[in-house]
Amino acid sequence: MTMTINDWMYICRLDDLPLSGARVVRIEGRPDIALFRTIDDRVFALHDRCPHKGGPLSQGIVHGARVTCPLHAWVINLDSGCVVEPDVGATACLRVRRDGDHVYLHRSDALRRAAVVAEAETCETS
């Protein structure tokens, strides 16, 4: 499947995201989205809600390609939204891309309702 420029929503410049930090994106009528920037300038997007007790992941500590929830220290993989074992669960992961210094979210991911995305999210454990 080929994606076009119309499939992506411009969100911000890379420099608008703090290194090893996050920024909240709000789209009316949709769950908050947390954009994360790692120390090596990779960008990830998750719904800003820990699957454990709903803590704001955007306020967590970013380490490598993971974020630790500020409420109960659950660790979530930024590239999948999956919780690190021994805990179980996931938060919705959204497609994000960089074009130079510009950051984009996939339009259909950003405009999806939380329940639809959450039902589709599963993480396999071995």
Q: What pLDDT is recorded for position 119? A: 40
**Nearest alpha carbon to residue 31 among 6, 7, 50, 52:** 50
Residue 83 has pLDDT above 60, yes or no: yes
- Asked if 109 contacts 95 with a C-beta cutoff of 8 angstroms, the reply is yes
Compute CA 83 distance to the chain's CA centroid, rounded to the nearest angstrom.
13
**pLDDT at residue number 79:** 96
Domain-wise residue ranges, the chain: 7-120
pLDDT (mean) for 107-124: 63
Residues shown for the chain = 126
State residue 56's pLDDT score: 97
If you average pLDDT over residues 99-106, what whole number do you get?
96
- One CATH from 1.20.58.390, 1.10.287.610, 2.102.10.10, 3.40.50.10310 for 7-120: 2.102.10.10
Average pLDDT over residues 8-17: 96
Strand partners, 103: 12, 98
Of 45, 48, 31, 50, nearest to 113 by C-alpha is 31
